[in-house]
Amino acid sequence: MNPKIDERIKEEYEAKIKGKFKIYLGNKLYAKGKNKWTRYFVSTLVQHVYNPDCEYRRYYTGMFAHTGFLPSGAQWYGDFRVGKDTTTPTNPSMEDLVDKIDIPPDTKNVVLFKEISYSKYTCKYKGLWNPGNIPPQTIGELGVYMLLSDDSWESPQENTKLYTLFETATYKSITFSQNAGKRLAMRISSADGAFDPIDYTSEDALILEWYVTIKF
C-alpha cells in the first residue's frame, strides 16, 4: 500500500490520548508542552473499561463519580503540587514529586469540552497559587494528583461477570484494585526538558493548566 495512504489512515482512525500543559506567571505564559504519564493513571483508565460498576469506580479507582478524571460531581478530589527537583527524570512508577513543596493551590477547577462531531473530548484542569503563597525558590517540577489504583493486580486478570450500574453490592468482592489512593497522575519536569527551572519570586501568581485530550 502507498506509504502516504497508510499514514493518512493512521492519522484519521487511530485513537489518541494526549496530555499538555501551560505554566503562567501572572498573566505571562512561561512554558507549554507535553507532560509525562504515570502507570497508575493509564492502568486506572483500563480498569474502568474492565469493570464499569458504579460503586467500584467511586470507591476504588476513583476517576469518575466525584473523584478524579471528570468534573461529574459537586467536588473534584484531585490536587496540584509543585516541587524543587531539577535533576530527576520522570519514570512511570512515580507516586509523588521528588522534592515536593506541600502547599496546595488557592483555587482549582476542572472544565470538560467536547466537539460537535463527538470525536474529541478534552478535560482542562487548573490550579492557581496566589502571590505570596509559595515562598521564593526554584521550581523544577509540577504534578497533578488523582485517586488512582496501585496497579497491583496480576496479569492477566480475568473477571467472568459483567457488573452493571445496579449491582452495587458486589463491588467489595473485587480485589485487584482495592488500594486506591491519591497518586501522581502526571509530572512536568525541567529534568525532562519540558521547561526551564522557574526562579520563582512569589510576586506573581503561579498557574498550572493541564489538558487531557482523547481523540478518535
Whether the per-residue pLDDT at 49 is higher than 80: the answer is: no
* Residue 15: C-alpha distances to residues 10, 118, 130, 192, 216 (Å): 9, 13, 38, 25, 4
Residue pLDDT, tens place only, 161-210: 544 333 333 444 443 344 567 889 999 999 999 999 999 999 999 999 99
Residue 30 lies in a domain: yes
Find out whether 84 and 101 touch, Cβ atoms under 8 Å: yes
pLDDT of residue 5: 62
Find out whether 169 and 103 touch, Cβ atoms under 8 Å: no
Containing structural domain, residue 99: 17-154+161-215
pLDDT category at 43 given cuts 50, 70, 90 is confident
Residue pLDDT, tens place only, 80-96: 999 999 999 999 999 89
Residue 192 lies in a domain: yes
**Nearest-angstrom CA–CA distance, 40 and 179:** 11
Residue 169 lies in a domain: yes
- Mean pLDDT throughout 25-30? 97
Residue 7 lies in a domain: no
Whether the per-residue pLDDT at 74 is higher than 90: the answer is: no
Residue 5 lies in a domain: no
Query: Number of structural domains, the chain?
Result: 1
pLDDT of residue 42: 87
Q: What percentage of the chain carries pLDDT values higher than 90?
A: 50
- CB neighbours of 131 closer than 8 A, spacing ≥ 6? 202, 203, 204, 205
**Nearest-angstrom CA–CA distance, 4 and 125:** 36
Cell of 58: 467511586
Residue 8 lies in a domain: no
Residue 19: half-sphere exposure toward Cβ, Cα within 13 Å: 17
DSSP secondary structure string, 22-54?
A: EEEETTEEEEEEE-EE-HHHHHHHHHHHH---H
Higher per-residue confidence, 22 vs 11: 22
Residue 6 lies in a domain: no
Residue 181 lies in a domain: yes
Other beta carbons within 10 angstroms of residue 175's beta carbon come to 11
* Alpha helices per DSSP H over the chain: 3-13, 39-50, 54-56
Higher per-residue confidence, 74 vs 75: 75
Q: What is the pTM of this model?
A: 0.79
